[in-house]
Amino acid sequence: MMRLMPGSAVNDLNVPDPAALQAELTDLLQLEHDALPAYSIAIASLRDPVLRDDLRAHRADHERHVEALSALIRDRNGIPLLLPHVPTGFFKLAVQAAGAPGGDRAVLLAFVSNEWQSREKYARHAARPHDPEVAAVLRRHAEDEERHYAWARDALDVMGCGSDTMVGMMANAFSRFHGTTADAVEGAGRLALETVMRTLRAA
């Protein structure tokens, strides 16, 4: 059985300690606050009413994610942070806004670029050890993000921008670059927040 070492972020069950968990949940909550304004831009920019309705349903999933993550944070004596990541949240917003003038195809290409990171990030967190309540929430959110991403990829396939096309390959490359860069910046912020929380708990 793993023994807890001083300053370790895991306990004997290999789940995050309170400071690490609060930082993790806050990071994911900020991810949702990155997504919601970008969704609003995408919905306002789409011309196809069916695509708009689908995206509104996906945005409702993100609103439920905010409620669920906020509840988890409050139940663990934390305060939900109602702010996007800085500066990556603003860059995601700019990416989505850049697609607005280019029609539905450009809107969805920008959407995929942002949604790729959300899908990958939730999948990683859902795969980590957590207590049953947190694990169930993160698993549901990861399934939602996978569904959102698949929906956008399917829509782009219909528009002739599948992953095997030049446009699709360029979009995939940008998504990975954009997503991994955002992950690195947000990961540093999460570690800094964890350090602050650990210091406050020890005071």
Q: What percent of the chain has pLDDT over 70?
A: 93
Q: How far apart are CA 88 and CA 77, in angstroms?
A: 27
Q: Where are the alpha helices (DSSP H) in 76-129?
A: 88-99, 103-127
Tell me how far the alpha carbon of residue 86 is from its chain's centroid: 14
pLDDT at residue 14 is higher than 80: no
Answer yes or no: is 3 within a domain.
no
* Per-residue pLDDT tens digits for 124-158: 999 999 999 999 999 999 999 999 999 999 999 99
What is the tally of structural domains in the chain? 1
Answer yes or no: is 47 within a domain.
yes
Q: CATH number for the domain including 67?
A: 1.20.1260.10
* Per-residue pLDDT tens digits for 38-73: 999 999 999 999 999 999 999 999 999 999 999 999
Answer yes or no: is 89 within a domain.
yes
Answer yes or no: is 4 within a domain.
no
Answer yes or no: is 126 within a domain.
yes
Amino acid type, 137: V
> Cα dihedral sign for 182, 185, 188, 194?
negative
Its domain, for residue 25, covers 18-202
The Cα angle at residue 130 between residues 126 and 132, in degrees rounded to 5? 100
Answer yes or no: is 107 within a domain.
yes
Q: Cβ distance 76 to 134 under 8 Å?
A: no
pLDDT at residue 166 is higher than 50: yes
Query: If DSSP codes are grouped into helix, strand and coil, which group holds residue 10?
Result: strand
Q: How far apart are CA 187 and CA 154, in angstroms?
A: 30
Tell the burial category of 66 from Cβ atoms under 10 Å away from its Cβ (0-12, 13-18, 19+): middle
Q: Cβ distance 72 to 170 under 8 Å?
A: no
Answer yes or no: is 141 within a domain.
yes
Q: Cβ distance 109 to 46 under 8 Å?
A: no
pLDDT given at position 126: 98
Answer yes or no: is 130 within a domain.
yes
pLDDT given at position 203: 63
Instruction: For residue 167, name the pLDDT band (cuts at 50, 70, 90).
Output: very high
